Amino acid sequence: MAKKKSILDFYEMKKKGEKVSWITAYDFPMASFAEEAGLDMILVGDSLGMVVLGYEGTIPVTMDDCISHCQAVRRGAPNVFVIGDMPFGSYQTTDGEAVANAVRFLKEASCDAIKLEGGRRVISKIRAIADAGIVVFGHIGLTPQSSGQLGGFKAQGRTVESARELIKDAIMIEEAGARALLLEAVPPELTEFICSKLTIPVYSIGAGLPCDGQLVICGDMLGLFQAFTPKFVKKYADVAGVIINAFKEYVEDVKTEKFPEDKHVYHIKDSIEDFEKLFKEFE
Ligand code: KIV
């Protein structure tokens, strides 16, 4: 089994040009599969609101939801670097509340780092959490928690004006003490430029190749999440199809009494005559 990586290992990988692979996971089985498959990191994203809890967006997700899913992921992947995602409302108020909520991810769920969305408007929160000794991942570009302000789940940084703001945000995030940055749904040209300006690792979800690694949402890449599929997703499996077909086959087997078979039942240990006597006692 590979040794659990630390943030320093990710710095080393960046230096060597070795790409980091990460996915989101929200529960014990998925986390254990990720560990077995050799993923470098797991994000317990607040996307759990859409992928697992059936909300239309991430806004309703609470700290308690995130902590409970992080705990399950930690149990499933004790040897993988796990990042807890700060949900909407957990860091938008005061620096103190942001630190207190970030601390919960480490104390209650043994996370290795936290991630929060936004640039200049959350700089004081990034600084406060980093100053508390917690590894912070920044996240800019398409930030789902502010999809209302962005006018939907839309790619960012495609115009010079929008790209300029993202470059400024990226620099401020590093200066505030973040140890890594995630870029979501921005053009690769911008990703490459931001990478060249920062010393911390820069990762992509829908931000192209020229950076230090890739993140995907497990529900997207496995074909589990059905509501929509972003352009940047490569589907590696049709798990929903496999599950639906299995359920259909089960329904058919139940209706036609093909299930359960003899091998699926427990056999009596005493004689059938003894059992018949027993049943008579109740007549
Ligand atoms: O919640 C999440 O999974 C995320 C990704 C979209 C980056 O924040």
pLDDT tens-place values along the chain, 283 residues long:
678 999 999 999 999 999 999 999 999 999 999 999 999 999 999 999 999 999 999 999 999 999 999 999 999 999 999 999 999 999 999 999 999 999 999 999 999 999 999 999 999 999 999 999 999 999 999 999 998 888 888 999 999 999 999 999 999 999 999 999 999 999 999 999 999 999 999 999 999 999 999 999 999 999 999 888 899 999 999 999 999 999 999 999 999 999 999 999 999 999 999 999 999 999 9
User: Is residue 145 in contact with ligand 1, taking CB distance under 6 Å?
Assistant: no
For 64, other C-beta atoms within 10 Å of its C-beta total 11
Domain assignment present for 175: yes
Residues 206, 247, single domain; the answer is no
Domain assignment present for 176: yes
Domain assignment present for 99: yes
Domain assignment present for 206: yes
Q: Residue of the nearest CA to atom 3 in ligand 1? A: 45
- Count of residues making up the chain: 283
Domain assignment present for 218: yes
Q: Evaluate whether 36 touches 28 at the Cβ level (below 8 Å).
A: no
Residues 82, 11, single domain; the answer is yes
Q: Evaluate whether 157 touches 190 at the Cβ level (below 8 Å).
A: yes
Domain assignment present for 1: no
Residues 178, 264, single domain; the answer is no
Phi, psi of 200 (to 5 degrees): -80, 155
Residue 187, domain CATH? 3.20.20.60
Domains: count for the chain: 2
Residues 224, 254, single domain; the answer is no
| CA torsion angle 162 188 186 39 (round to 10) | -150
Of 65, 215, 231, 232, the residue with max ligand 1 atoms within 8 A of its CB, to mutate for a pocket test, comes to 215
**Å from CA of 74 to ligand 1 middle:** 18
Residues 250, 233, single domain; the answer is no
> Can you tell me whether residue 266 is helix, strand or coil?
coil
**Å from CA of 183 to ligand 1 middle:** 10
Residues 54, 38: Cα–Cα separation, whole Å: 28
Residue 276, domain extent: 242-281
**Å from CA of 45 to ligand 1 middle:** 5
Residues 248, 193, single domain; the answer is no
Residues 59, 44: Cα–Cα separation, whole Å: 15
- Catalytic annotation present for 184: yes
Residues 267, 138, single domain; the answer is no
Residues 249, 131, single domain; the answer is no
- The pLDDT value recorded for residue 148 is 86
User: Is residue 126 in contact with ligand 1, taking CB distance under 6 Å?
Assistant: no
- The pLDDT value recorded for residue 166 is 98
User: Is residue 220 in contact with ligand 1, taking CB distance under 6 Å?
Assistant: no
Q: Residue of the nearest CA to atom 1 in ligand 1? A: 45
Residues 134, 264, single domain; the answer is no
- The pLDDT value recorded for residue 240 is 97
Residues 233, 276, single domain; the answer is no
Residues 128, 207, single domain; the answer is yes
- The pLDDT value recorded for residue 121 is 94
Burial class (CB in 10 A: 0-12, 13-18, 19+), 109: buried
> Can you tell me whether residue 37 is helix, strand or coil?
helix
pTM of the model: 0.95
Domain assignment present for 156: yes
Domain assignment present for 24: yes
> Which region holds residue 234: left if phi is over 0, alpha if psi is between -120 and 50, else beta?
beta
User: Is residue 46 in contact with ligand 1, taking CB distance under 6 Å?
Assistant: yes
- The pLDDT value recorded for residue 226 is 86
Q: Residue of the nearest CA to atom 5 in ligand 1? A: 45
Q: Tell me the angle at which helices 123-131 and 160-175 cross, rounded to the nearest 10 degrees.
A: 20
Residues 223, 250, single domain; the answer is no
User: Is residue 47 in contact with ligand 1, taking CB distance under 6 Å?
Assistant: yes
Q: Which of 184, 192, 252, 283 is catalytic?
A: 184
